[in-house]
Amino acid sequence: MDKILEKLKKQALDEFTKIKNSQELEDLRIKYLGRNGELTKLLKELKDLAEEEKPRVGKLANEVKLALAEKLDDLSLHLQGKAKNSIAQATDLTLPGQPVKTGSLHPNTIIQYELEDVFKALGFRVLEGPDIESEYYNFEALNIPDDHPARDMQDTFWLTSGEVLKTHTSAMQVRAMEKYGAPLRAIFPGRCFRYEATDASHDSTFYQLEGLMIDQNISIANLIAVMKELLKGVFGKEVKVRQRPGYFPFVEPGFELDINCLICGGKGCSVCKQTGWLELLPCGLVHPNVIKAGGLDPEKYNGFAFGLGLTRLVMMKYGIDDIRLLQSGDLRFLKQF
Q: Which is nearer to ligand FA5, 32 or 124 (CB)?
A: 124
Q: Which is nearer to ligand FA5, 208 or 302 (CB)?
A: 208
CA 290/CA 310 separation, integer angstroms: 23
Is residue 283 a contact residue for ligand FA5 (CB under 6 A)? yes
Q: CB nearest ligand FA5: which residue?
A: 309
Is residue 168 a contact residue for ligand FA5 (CB under 6 A)? yes
**Shortest spacing between CB 182 and ligand FA5, in angstroms:** 17
**Residue 319 amino acid letter:** G
What is the SS3 assignment for 308?
strand
**Shortest spacing between CB 246 and ligand FA5, in angstroms:** 7
H/E stretch holding 90 reads helix 54-90
Determine which residue in the list 194, 234, 269, 291 makes contact with ligand FA5, applying CB under 6 A.
Answer: 194
* Cβ neighbours around 202 below 10 Å, total: 14
Find out whether 114 and 107 touch, Cβ atoms under 8 Å: no
* Cβ neighbours around 138 below 10 Å, total: 25
| Partner residues linked to 283 by β-bridges | 255, 306
Is residue 279 a contact residue for ligand FA5 (CB under 6 A)? yes
Is residue 190 a contact residue for ligand FA5 (CB under 6 A)? no
- Name which of 246, 215, 231 is nearest 316 in CA terms: 231
Q: Considering only 112-120, 174-182, 225-233, 274-282, which stretch makes contact with ligand FA5 by CB under 6 A?
A: 274-282
Q: Considering only 87-95, 109-117, 133-141, 194-202, which stretch makes contact with ligand FA5 by CB under 6 A?
A: 194-202
**Shortest spacing between CB 274 and ligand FA5, in angstroms:** 17
Determine which residue in the list 284, 296, 302, 303 makes contact with ligand FA5, applying CB under 6 A.
Answer: 284
Determine which residue in the list 124, 139, 193, 248 makes contact with ligand FA5, applying CB under 6 A.
Answer: 248
Is residue 312 a contact residue for ligand FA5 (CB under 6 A)? yes
CA 275/CA 277 separation, integer angstroms: 5
In the DSSP assignment, the letter for residue 100 is P
**Shortest spacing between CB 94 and ligand FA5, in angstroms:** 53
Instruction: State whether the Cα torsion 233-234-236-237 is positive or negative.
Output: negative
Is residue 305 a contact residue for ligand FA5 (CB under 6 A)? yes
Give the count of residues interacting with ligand FA5 (CB under 6 A).
Answer: 25
Q: Considering only 49-57, 59-67, 87-95, 247-255, which stretch makes contact with ligand FA5 by CB under 6 A?
A: 247-255
Known binder of ligand: residue 70? no
Chain CA centroid to CA 187, Å = 21
Q: Which is nearer to ligand FA5, 43 or 258 (CB)?
A: 258
What is the SS3 assignment for 141?
helix
Q: In what order do the strands lie in the sheet with 125-126?
A: 125-126, 184-193, 205-215, 302-309, 277-286, 251-260, 241-245
Q: Considering only 24-32, 39-47, 214-222, 300-308, which stretch makes contact with ligand FA5 by CB under 6 A?
A: 300-308
Is residue 65 a contact residue for ligand FA5 (CB under 6 A)? no
Is residue 203 a contact residue for ligand FA5 (CB under 6 A)? yes
| Partner residues linked to 257 by β-bridges | 243, 281
| Partner residues linked to 242 by β-bridges | 258
Find out whether 180 and 213 touch, Cβ atoms under 8 Å: no
What is the SS3 assignment for 215?
strand
Is residue 273 a contact residue for ligand FA5 (CB under 6 A)? no
> Contact residues for ligand FA5 (CB under 6 A)?
154, 168, 170, 194, 196, 202-203, 206, 208, 210, 248, 251, 254, 279-280, 282-284, 305-307, 309, 311-312, 323
